[in-house]
Structure 1
Amino acid sequence: MSTSDPRGALGRLGERQAERYLKRLGYIIVGRREKIWRGDIDLIAVDGRTVVFCEVRTRTDSLHGHPVETIGYTKQRRVSELAAAYLRKHHLGDCHARIDVVAVTLHGPSGRPLVEHYQNAFDSPP
């Protein structure tokens, strides 16, 4: 993906917003755009004793739907598979893990970015 790709730039901007938000909550970010197997995970964090795999979805506004609406079953399954592969690769099979979604709307109702965090958004790694 080229750096001049507007969707890629939008995604990276949303990921930075999500990372700042999670850090304010006390999460420790341990991976960004982590390449695993045949894909990547947007953010990997630690929340207490839990490994958290974060799928970040970004929209410029809410006129064309909520960012979460862009995550279908196929994407959910893919993120779950990538999370499981990460846990295996790093020998973390005994760790608690979950998959969260962070939805970023860059121009929220207040004119400022709106960040919404959904814990355990869909099935965790097997």
Structure 2
Amino acid sequence: MYLKHELGILGEQIATNYLKSQNYEILNRNFSCKQGEIDIIAKDNKEYVFVEVKTRTNSDYGEPADSVNKIKQKHLKRTIEYYIYINKLEEEAIRMDIIEIYIADKNYVYHIKNVF
């Protein structure tokens, strides 16, 4: 059984490895500011991709992406806006993705693109 923090770290590492296998360039992990935190910031060709990773051991409490509610989305949007501002990326293409990770006998990765 995993502690919540350990599960999150493991899920983020699995998501990072998955993105690398899909030829994404990893720019930053666990970017944080007073607005919030972004788990992974990557580049897919010329598009900046902000990734929220949600990891579960089962679906007893719903799908992992379901936990990215309106309040969480608001914090993510503010954090993305701040990252764009400090890195002068206003003219760049961006998107927000969610990666769901299920930790079980075999790890399962589900990548949801352009969530908002």
Shared fold (TM-score, shorter chain, > 0.5) = yes
Deviations 1:57-84 (A, max 9, x none): 0101223321111110111111111111
1:57 maps to what in 2? Answer: 54
**What is the CA–CA distance in structure 1 between the aligned matches of 2:33 and 2:109, rounded to whole Å?**
26
Q: How many residues align?
A: 115
2:36–2:78 CA contact under 8 A, matched in 1 = no
Pick the aligned partner of 1:87 from 84, 87, 95.
84
Q: Could you list the runs of 4 or more consecutive aligned residues of structure 1 that deviate by over 4 angstroms after TM superposition?
A: none
Matched, 1:72 2:76: no
User: After alignment, is 74-83 or 95-104 more displaced?
Assistant: 74-83
Pick the aligned partner of 1:114 from 108, 111, 114.
108
Shift of residue 116, structure 1, vs aligned partner: 0.3
**What is the TM-score normalised by the length of structure 2?**
0.93
Q: Unaligned regions of 5+ residues in structure 1, if any?
A: none
Shift of residue 53, structure 1, vs aligned partner: 0.3
**What is the CA–CA distance in structure 2 between the aligned matches of 1:12 and 1:86, rounded to whole Å?**
22
Query: What percentage of aligned pairs have identical amino acids?
Result: 33
Q: Unaligned regions of 5+ residues in structure 2, if any?
A: none
1:29 maps to what in 2? Answer: 26
**What is the TM-score normalised by the length of structure 1?**
0.86
**What is the CA–CA distance in structure 2 between the aligned matches of 1:61 and 1:38, rounded to whole Å?**
30
What is the root-mean-square deviation in Å for CA atoms of aligned residues? 1.3
